[in-house]
């Protein structure tokens, strides 16, 4: 059975480790000066050389010519370490030995024994973050004060799961992702040693797919060699790794940039027929959009891991996208990548994401609104006001609460906030010119307003009703029209300041030939009577009704008292207090039988002798 490339070409000396020069230099200097620490913590992504560097450190300490920063790799100790058979080098997989019993048996119980062959004992623990809390606690004391001949090397891809008490007792080394250039160089050297012809673009694609991991790159290269029958070409690499041709990427990005939904769906249909992986394509698109976003914010001055041809292509595509739109696209693509992992219909999820990219109005989010606003600014079809529109303070009030709100708004003195709101509402809006100022000044302002109001109702019935009670007047004849609202109708005044209402009114003026006319929205002054009423309390108490004298009947042996004459003292126009409907609907306590005649006498005295009280079940 053939040996895997990543095992066959594993580095045997420090110089063979790719992309980790800072770690290599530190360890070699520590070995040369005899300052080797008792514990190291190697962290970083997979396939970047953590376990390999730990083995090289063991070689440097146990080599027959050492301790030396340059082990020969040919002595018996070096060969045993390379084969994983040295008795003084313990490689433990923490993923399969997570319990405290494993730590006690394999580490704590043996750490005090002297080395078998060399000067030191090296414990290499892979995926150390998988240990349990109890196992970490058991290892803690040994890790802090091990015997002089013991060195611990802890390797992990998830350092945040390692307790801080372990961090503080180790020297930490962070392994970096290997750059594409270094990966391509190593892959090319391996192809030469294997006698495999290759194309540089194919190796670049393999390195790009590896995402900085040497082991992933070598595994993909070995698979590609078998797939292409010993001839590594770009065509074969694209077929195997599911790469997307640059022309195809440019086509779909142009369709999204021009908001051509039909072209997006056609492209998706053709792409699905090729059997390519949508998840891989989504990741490619996210990287492409990310590069565009970085270039849009940095004026293309930042160093990107792309070729010059790809950089020129990105600069061309930037004419269709702005920073806000690219930021929203990144969010949509991130959601899509998460959905594709669990989706049962990847094509449907992909097409929904394309629809969100093409039609931002389908999303009711701040990001989509920012994209739509950016599109309007780029097209120059809208001029933003200098100040933000005044928000409606009471948009969802009921009718009684709205009436109370309007009354309260009218009671505020003119020198307070309404004056500031009036100033904010005086922001002028311009429309394309049609008639000159002299022609507009010659027109009757009332007639011009009626014509504009009629057009406004055709544009938006709601806005037509909103401006129906407004009063027009010339602020500057032929140039500026003042639209005044009654102070009692503050709700309409606030709503008229919104962008939608002002835009509809501008369009109405343009349709009646007053495109050059500017207008300001104001709130009229309150009438004197209204001002006096404003100083009074907002809610006044009802006058107390006059009491109705009810004569008390004298006690007689006969249970039926004589009727009270109808001429009893009753006010001619009594004032009664209004009783809420809910109180009338409350069930009354039925009177006792002996009080019925007494109640008849009371009612007869109040309303006349013909009134009788009758009990009803």
Structure tokens at 498: 């919104």
Q: For residue range 149-204, list pLDDT tens digits in order.
A: 899 999 999 888 899 999 998 999 999 988 888 888 888 888 888 888 888 888 88
Query: What is the overall mean pLDDT for the chain?
Result: 75
Sequence-distant (≥ 6) Cβ neighbours of residue 191 within 8 angstroms = 197, 198, 203, 221, 232
Q: What is the CATH number of the domain that holds 40?
A: 3.40.50.300
pLDDT over 70 percentage in the chain: 70
Domain count within the chain: 5
Q: Has residue 375 been placed in a domain?
A: yes
Q: For residue range 278-308, list pLDDT tens digits in order.
A: 888 888 889 889 988 888 888 656 767 676 7
Whole-angstrom distance, CA of residue 292 vs CA of residue 242: 22
- Given a cut of 80, whether residue 85 has pLDDT beyond it is yes
Question: Angle at which helices 278-298 and 246-257 pack, to 10 degrees?
Answer: 70
Confidence (pLDDT) at 541: 46
Confidence (pLDDT) at 501: 82
Q: For residue range 459-514, list pLDDT tens digits in order.
A: 877 777 777 778 888 777 777 888 888 777 676 778 777 888 888 888 888 887 77
Whole-angstrom distance, CA of residue 136 vs CA of residue 100: 8
Whether 435 and 529 map to the same domain: the answer is: yes
Confidence (pLDDT) at 155: 93
Q: Has residue 338 been placed in a domain?
A: yes
Domain end call among 174, 193, 228: 174
Mean of the pLDDT values across residues 108-127? Answer: 86
Q: How confident is the model at residue 558 (pLDDT cuts 50, 70, 90)?
A: low
Other C-beta atoms lying within 10 Å of the C-beta of residue 573: 5
Provide the residue range defining the domain that includes 200.
Answer: 180-241
Confidence (pLDDT) at 617: 53
Whole-angstrom distance, CA of residue 197 vs CA of residue 33: 45
Confidence (pLDDT) at 57: 92
Whether 470 and 329 map to the same domain: the answer is: no
Q: Has residue 409 been placed in a domain?
A: no
H or E, element range at 521: strand 518-523
Q: Has residue 402 been placed in a domain?
A: no
Contacts 24+ apart (CB under 8 A), 221-230: 221/5, 221/187, 221/190, 221/191, 222/4, 222/5, 225/194, 225/196, 230/196, 230/197
Q: How confident is the model at residue 528 (pLDDT cuts 50, 70, 90)?
A: very low
Residue 22, CA distances (Å) to 18, 28, 219, 405 in order = 11, 10, 26, 70
Structure tokens at 187: 């892959």
Name the β-bridge partners of 480. 476, 518
Whether 12 and 117 map to the same domain: the answer is: yes
Whole-angstrom distance, CA of residue 13 vs CA of residue 40: 19
- Given a cut of 90, whether residue 211 has pLDDT beyond it is no
Whether 504 and 557 map to the same domain: the answer is: no
84 and 91 Cβ atoms separated by less than 8 Å: yes
Other C-beta atoms lying within 10 Å of the C-beta of residue 238: 16
Longest distance between any two alpha carbons in the chain, whole Å: 137
Whether 214 and 289 map to the same domain: the answer is: no
N residues, the chain: 617
Structure tokens at 299: 């004026």
Whether 358 and 430 map to the same domain: the answer is: no
Q: What is the CATH number of the domain that holds 445?
A: 3.30.300
Mean of the pLDDT values across residues 94-100? Answer: 80
Confidence (pLDDT) at 244: 55
Whether 13 and 98 map to the same domain: the answer is: yes
Q: Has residue 396 been placed in a domain?
A: no
Residue 41 has φ and ψ, to the nearest 5°, of: -125, 110
Bridge-based pairing of strands 150-156 and 39-43 is: parallel
Whether 223 and 285 map to the same domain: the answer is: no
Which range has highest mean pLDDT (117-121, 382-386, 399-403)? 117-121
Higher per-residue confidence, 450 vs 417:
450
Whether 203 and 255 map to the same domain: the answer is: no
pTM for this prediction: 0.51
Whether 337 and 427 map to the same domain: the answer is: no
Higher per-residue confidence, 443 vs 571:
443
Q: Has residue 397 been placed in a domain?
A: no
Residue with tokens 């240990």: 131
Whether 523 and 586 map to the same domain: the answer is: no
Q: Has residue 222 been placed in a domain?
A: yes
Q: For residue range 335-393, list pLDDT tens digits in order.
A: 999 998 888 888 899 999 999 888 877 666 676 677 777 777 766 654 444 444 444 44
Q: How confident is the model at residue 555 (pLDDT cuts 50, 70, 90)?
A: low
Mean of the pLDDT values across residues 553-563? Answer: 53
Domain end call among 354, 379, 404: 379
Name the least confident of 37-41, 226-230, 551-555.
Answer: 551-555
Whole-angstrom distance, CA of residue 108 vs CA of residue 610: 110
Cis ω before 402 (30° cut-off from 0) = no
75 and 53 Cβ atoms separated by less than 8 Å: no
Structure tokens at 279: 């998840």
Bridge-based pairing of strands 89-93 and 39-43 is: unpaired
Domain end call among 174, 193, 225: 174
- Given a cut of 70, whether residue 396 has pLDDT beyond it is no
Q: What angle do CA 223, 268, 332 make, to 5 degrees?
A: 90
Whether 259 and 226 map to the same domain: the answer is: no
């Amino acid at each position: 059975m053939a040996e895997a490339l990543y095992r066959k070409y594993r580095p045997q000396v420090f110089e063979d480790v790719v992309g980790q020069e800072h770690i290599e230099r530190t360890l070699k200097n520590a070995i040369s000066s005899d300052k080797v620490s008792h514990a190291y913590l190697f962290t970083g992504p997979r396939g970047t050389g953590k376990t390999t560097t730990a083995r090289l450190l063991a070689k440097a300490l146990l080599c027959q010519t050492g301790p030396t920063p340059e082990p020969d790799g040919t002595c018996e100790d070096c060969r045993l370490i390379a084969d994983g058979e040295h008795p003084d080098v313990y490689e433990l997989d923490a993923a399969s030995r997570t319990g405290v019993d494993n730590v006690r048996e394999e580490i704590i119980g043996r750490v005090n024994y002297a080395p078998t062959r060399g000067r030191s004992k090296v414990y290499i623990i892979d995926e150390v973050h998988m240990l349990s809390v109890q196992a970490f606690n058991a290892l803690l004391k040994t890790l802090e004060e091990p015997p002089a001949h013991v060195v611990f090397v802890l390797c992990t891809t998830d350092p945040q799961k390692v307790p801080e008490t372990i961090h503080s007792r180790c020297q930490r080394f962070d392994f970096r992702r290997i750059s594409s250039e270094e990966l391509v160089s190593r892959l090319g050297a391996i192809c030469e040693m294997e006698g495999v012809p290759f194309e540089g673009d194919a190796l670049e694609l393999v390195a790009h797919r590896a995402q900085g991991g040497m082991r992933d790159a070598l595994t993909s290269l070995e698979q590609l060699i078998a797939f292409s029958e010993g001839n590594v070409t770009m065509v074969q690499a694209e077929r195997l790794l599911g790469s997307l041709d640059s022309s195809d990427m440019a086509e779909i990005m142009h369709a999204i940039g021009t908001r051509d939904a039909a072209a997006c769906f056609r492209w998706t249909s053709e792409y699905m027929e090729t059997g390519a992986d949508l998840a891989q394509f989504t990741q490619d698109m996210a990287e492409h959009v990310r590069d565009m976003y970085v270039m849009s914010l940095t004026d293309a001055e930042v160093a990107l891991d792309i070729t010059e041809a790809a950089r020129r292509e990105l600069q061309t595509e930037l004419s269709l996208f702005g920073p806000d739109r690219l930021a929203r696209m990144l969010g949509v693509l991130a959601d899509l990548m998460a959905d594709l992992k669990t989706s049962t219909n990847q094509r449907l999820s992909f097409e929904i994401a394309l629809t969100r990219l093409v039609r931002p109005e389908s999303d009711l989010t701040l990001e989509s609104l920012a994209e739509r606003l950016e599109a309007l600014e780029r097209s120059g079809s809208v001029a933003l006001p200098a100040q933000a529109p005044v928000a409606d303070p009471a948009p969802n009030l009921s009718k009684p609460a709205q009436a109370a709100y309007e009354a309260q708004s009218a009671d505020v003195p003119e020198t307070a906030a309404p004056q500031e709101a009036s100033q904010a509402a005086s922001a002028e809006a311009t429309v394309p010119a049609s008639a000159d100022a002299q022609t507009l000044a010659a027109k009757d302002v009332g007639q011009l307003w009626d014509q504009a109001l009629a057009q406004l109702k055709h544009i938006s019935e709601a806005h037509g009703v909103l401006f129906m009670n407004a009063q027009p007047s010339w602020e500057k004849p032929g140039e500026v029209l003042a639209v005044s609202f009654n102070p009692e109708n503050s709700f309409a005044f606030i709503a008229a300041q919104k962008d939608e209402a002002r835009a509809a009114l501008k369009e109405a003026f343009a349709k009646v030939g007053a495109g050059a006319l500017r207008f300001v929205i104001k709130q009229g002054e309150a009438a004197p009577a209204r001002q006096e009423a404003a100083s009074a309390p907002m809610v006044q108490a009802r006058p107390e009704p006059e009491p109705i004298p009810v004569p008390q009947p004298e006690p007689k042996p006969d249970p039926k008292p004589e009727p009270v004459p109808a001429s009893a003292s009753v006010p001619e126009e009594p004032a009664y207090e209004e009783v809420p409907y809910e109180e009338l609907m409350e069930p009354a306590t039925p009177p006792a039988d002996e009080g019925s005649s007494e109640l008849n006498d009371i009612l007869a005295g109040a309303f006349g002798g013909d009134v009788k009280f009758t009990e009803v079940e």
